[in-house]
Chains A and B, each alone.
Chain A
Amino acid sequence: MVDSENFAIADLFSLAGKTALVTGGSSGIGLNLAKGLLINGVRVVIASRKQEKCDEALQELAPLGEVSAFAADVTKPEDRAALLEFCGAKLGSLSILINNAGSNWAAQLQDYPDEGFDKVVSTNLNAVFSLTRDAIPLLELAATEEDPARIINIGSMDGLQVPIVQRVPTFAYSASKAALHHLTRTLAVDLGPKHITVNAVAPGFFASRMTDFVFDKYLSDIEDECPLHRIGRPEELVGIVTYLASRAGSYTNGTVIPVDGGTSVSKGKRDWME
């Protein structure tokens, strides 16, 4: 097993020839992950609810590699079925499934509506479970003991700890992401024997449509609470996903990896900046 060919740079982190589905792939983190995968030789399908968003993203992605887009609402069973059929036709099999589509609802507790809670949990948790379950046959087609298929769930730092300052309370979001982290572990145990790994990435603050309004008001507070004193850069999520999807990450299973500049291990707003 230990020989120079196996240890080549291109080999350990290589994604060349793999296939991937990225949900929520038309903007923010999902769009950046799709770019990273394409640049590194992965054939990609992105999914997003709105056709025009898909078309816009496709314009940006098409020069980077072999990519197609499918408009689907992953909370709808018929859309999920159509999406997976599309992936089967376009890609043949699925070596990487990135469950990135998510939604959020922010309101104070007394004003937080049931429908807001349901909407967030059904996108961030229920849809991930259903899509993953239904994608198993396509993933199995790509899975081998040597090179397992990979499921990567995009969780959140908010699913690991509750911010000391609840700037914008997001009860459903935090709960759904904590549940997604544990779903990741449960699926990892179940799917390991099928040569499919399941891991989650828990991003801290990265620029996306979801965070713009928070940054407008709270960027300096957010930086103060982060040991690295900044928000994340897009390539820092491409990095962890590349690791998890490549041979380098092929024994990493059932983990939740925070990529948050250390915010979640810090005790809160720091006094050492003075």
Chain B
Amino acid sequence: MIGPRSWIFQVVVRFAFFIINVFALYLLLRGHNQPGGGFIAGLASAAALILLSLAIGIEALHRLIRVDPVRMAAGGLLLALLSGAGPMLGGAAFLTQFNWHLHDLPLLGELHVGTPLVFDFGVYLVVIGICAKIIFVLVESTEGLPGLVVEEERRYSSPLEEPIEERPAAGKEMGRDAD
């Protein structure tokens, strides 16, 4: 599934990657008042990432973007949670949102910012993270699932994952093998 590694394709895709991401950010920022928002922006950014990965390959992308998409998603979830939990410090209910209007900004003109944007940004990160991770994992698995398993296990596994029934101490198992 790795796309044609032609130079033109790579250049075009790199360019498109930035364009799409800028557009996605625009969608995210205007989402509150116009069609758009975290889900759409996240999907757009994820599509851009996937496109880039098809052009330059997953390895190169890993070198380019160091953060693991799952961590990005987890970070987004945490951000959304914190933006919801923040108002609780002030005694407000969970997920209470606050808004402020900013006037006369350069380029953007009128902009309102508020906790909904933080929340939406969390959604954005989650959507990018999960789309990118699932696609990357599936793509990587063509190039040898073994390598992927080792890599991901190094990253996420714990000693507890080792199957209990196969602990070397189990005398019965060893005995049966000896038979």
Q: Do A and B bind each other?
A: no
Q: Residues on B close to A: CB < 8 A?
A: none
Q: Residues on A close to B: CB < 8 A?
A: none
